[in-house]
Structure 1
Amino acid sequence: MAEEAKEESTEKKSGGKGIIIILLVVMILLIIGIGVLTFFLLTSKNHEGGGDAAATAQHASAEHGDAKEEVKDGVVRSYSPKYKQYDPPEPGAAPQYFAMEPFVVNFKGQGQAKFLAVTIKFMTHYPQLVKDLENYRPMLRNDITAMLRIQTYTELNQDNGQQLLADKILKIAKADLEKNNIYPDLLEAVYFDRFVMQ
């Protein structure tokens, strides 16, 4: 009997130690898990908010010079001195428009329509830019015509086809301006006076 009592007390002692060890291991794993989770949450917030914004700002400043762009009321008021400088528009000034002659091109490939005819206007708040755009009219016309010739009826017949085309035209015009040391974001939008597919 005495031996059985000793065995029971030894089993109880070793069983208690096992539970304590298991609890310690579980607690250590929980602490490590919480630490890892906290690390990932904090680093993901830095990448979503501050990290990408800082990288974007750094990329933009490298792309457009060291000076910061100042935008008020949705209009660029000042920008990098590496570009040609224009007098800033008066607050609340009406936008100015630069009209291009109509473009008529054949559609690429086969489709229901054979021709695309568009008349566009560029919008800016800088009257001096409208005057300067006249000097770049042949370049703009050439590059826009080349882009229009590779469009297909299927692409333009989508619900947002006209807006996609306007975005492409604006991108080409901004690239042409930047090549000529004119700040591209001064050109704000493209509008269609006429958009016909026949």
Structure 2
Amino acid sequence: MAEEETEEKKKGGKGLIIALLVVVILLLVGVAVLAVMLLTGGDKSANANGANAEMHGSAEHGDEADANNKAKTYSPKYKQFEPPAPESPPSYFTMDKFVVNFNGDGQAKFLAVDLKFMSYYSQLVGDGGDMEYLRPILKNDIERLLRNQHYNDLIKPDGPDALRAEILKVTRSVLEKHNIYPDLIEDVYMTRFVMQ
């Protein structure tokens, strides 16, 4: 009788081990499925028919698949613009010429800069675009930034590029304050940069 009880306990133990193995395998499969979904982004842009839903594109540059797609995906809390056509050229917003007194460090007194902002969203930077309404704010904030520059910083090899990055940051900040997605402005270009 004692032998039968030990044999039943062994069988019950094997059943428990098998049940635990099944649970562990199911957990591993679940984790693998979750990992795949996270890595692929869950393909949120596909609708029930499997077709791609309208999107305001990828913000990545350099992906060959998205090389021609200039549209960006962004939160609905920002003003929504029609996405640009995949082959559309960039549009530019030209600011008035900036001539300011700046910290010339005894070498210069004036800094003159001409700026063009580039975007693929012509509704933002084109004639009558939203940046036109923000022109006075942009002019004020960029002039303040230019007045605080130092000659010794600007004559460094990367000085003008650092200034461009700061101007872009200020511009994007103004856009964000006015509920416009800041990364719709791709870049800013200095068509004139003179210190004298």
TM-score (normalised: structure 2): 0.64
Report the Cα offset of residue 70 of structure 1.
Answer: 2.6
CA radius of gyration, larger in:
1
Deviations, residues 121-161 of structure 1 (Å, cap 9, x unaligned): 00000010011100000000000000100001001000011
Question: Does the residue aligned with 2:164 lie in a helix, a strand or coil?
Answer: helix
Question: Does the residue aligned with 2:194 lie in a helix, a strand or coil?
Answer: strand
The change in CA–CA distance for 1:135 and 1:110 in structure 2 (over 3 A counts) is same
Q: Please name the residue that 1:60 is paired with.
A: none
Question: Would the aligned equivalents of 2:71 and 2:86 in 1 still touch at CA under 8 Å?
Answer: no
Give the RMSD, CA atoms, in angstroms.
2.3
Number of aligned residue pairs: give it.
Answer: 135
C-alpha distance in 2 between matches for 1:145 and 1:75? 30
Hey, which bits of structure 1, 4+ residues long, moved more than 2 A? Answer: 67-78
From 159, 163, 175, the equivalent of 1:177 is 175
Deviations, residues 100-123 of structure 1 (Å, cap 9, x unaligned): 011011122532111100000000
The change in CA–CA distance for 1:109 and 1:197 in structure 2 (over 3 A counts) is closer
TM-score (normalised: structure 1): 0.63
Question: Would the aligned equivalents of 2:119 and 2:184 in 1 still touch at CA under 8 Å?
Answer: yes
Greater strand fraction, Structure 1 or Structure 2: 1
Residue 85 of structure 2 corresponds to residue 90 of structure 1: yes
* Structure 1 residues without counterparts, runs of 5 or longer: 1-53, 55-66
Greater helix fraction, Structure 1 or Structure 2: 1
Residue 102 of structure 2 corresponds to residue 111 of structure 1: no
Report the Cα offset of residue 78 of structure 1.
Answer: 2.4
Report the Cα offset of residue 76 of structure 1.
Answer: 3.9
